[in-house]
Amino acid sequence: MTNVLAVESLSKQYGPTTAVDGISFQVARNEIVGLVGPNGAGKTTTINIILGVLEPTGGSIRIEGIDVATERSRALECTNFAAVYAPLPGNLTVYQNLRIFGMIYAVKRLSDRIERLLRDFDLERFRDVKAGVLSSGEQTRLCLAKAMLNEPHLLLLDEPTASLDPATAQDMRAKIRALADERRCGVLWTSHNMYEVEDVCDRVLLLSRGKILLEGDPKTLPRAHGKDTLEELFIAVARE
């Protein structure tokens, strides 16, 4: 497996506060890596640094071997993201949002790609509906459709299923799993739902106070640390 994302000694300091403390990890093609940890652990900070919207204090990030610090635009051409706190403009329709972001990402045969995504994410009936009037679950599906526009090699998902009902969340997990398998895409996935992480992730990184404390297969990691479930392990780490 070759790495689509390589994070090396990454750190972020806000004055005396250390948000991310020299973490290193990789995400390979076809791999879904779960980034879990308590609130304030540094998950979103890490994702923001990878996306180039936050400058690290130290360390390096390479996406497909391209250094984000020096070739940001080229690195982000093959990257995309969806986050619960980054909804798409509510005054544009579903189609307009996908069209504009498709143009920004220079997606080839954009009309065909949008039609495919509208079908895949069950958004066809909302094509001409303004994104602002969609339910939170529908907006999440739209964000995920936008995240798939450029068929990214690296997909960053910050709590992507937080506002979805269990059935839709399961469908979305299956779609993202299929994307990782079929498109040779690497996925970095943050979630507070440990059952979801256990279900979908190949590997999990447990982050606390800016450091990676544990790393491994989410199905075997709890037992290796004397816990029955990932949730129990998470709670134990969070309370330390």
Partner 1 sequence: MLPLFAWVAIDMVLWGFITKYLNAVSAAGFDFVPVFLGAVLLWDFFTRVMHGVTMAFMEDVWSRNFLNIFATPLSISEYVGGLVLSSIATSSVGLVVMLFLASSIFGLSFFAYGIALIPFLLVLFLFGIALGILGAAIVLRFGPASEWFIWPVPALVSPFAGVFYPISTLPQWMQHICWALPPSYIFENVRAIVAGGTASVSELMVGAGLAVIDVILVCWVFVRVYRHSVRTGLIARYSAESVS
Can you point out the beta strands (E) in 144-219?
154-158, 186-190, 203-208, 211-216
Binding window for partner 1 (CB under 8 A); candidates: 21-29, 43-51, 168-176, 216-224 = 43-51
As a whole number of angstroms, the distance between CA 151 and CA 161 comes to 19
Measuring CA to CA, which residue among 48, 33, 28, 29 is closest to residue 197? 33
Does 54 interact with partner 1 (rule: CB under 8 A)? yes
Binding window for partner 1 (CB under 8 A); candidates: 1-9, 88-96, 115-123, 198-206 = 88-96
Which of 9, 24, 55, 215 touches partner 1 (CB under 8 A)? 55
**Amino acid making up residue 99:** R
| Cα–Cα separations (whole angstroms), residue 44 to 20, 25, 33, 65, 73 | 10, 15, 14, 22, 20
Contact letters for partner 1, residues 142-171 (x by CB under 8 A): ----x-------------------------
Contact letters for partner 1, residues 106-145 (x by CB under 8 A): x---------------------------------------
Nearer to partner 1, 4 or 230 (CB): 4
Question: Which positions lie near partner 1, rule CB under 8 A?
Answer: 14, 44-45, 48, 51-55, 72-74, 76-77, 81, 83, 85-92, 101, 104-106, 146
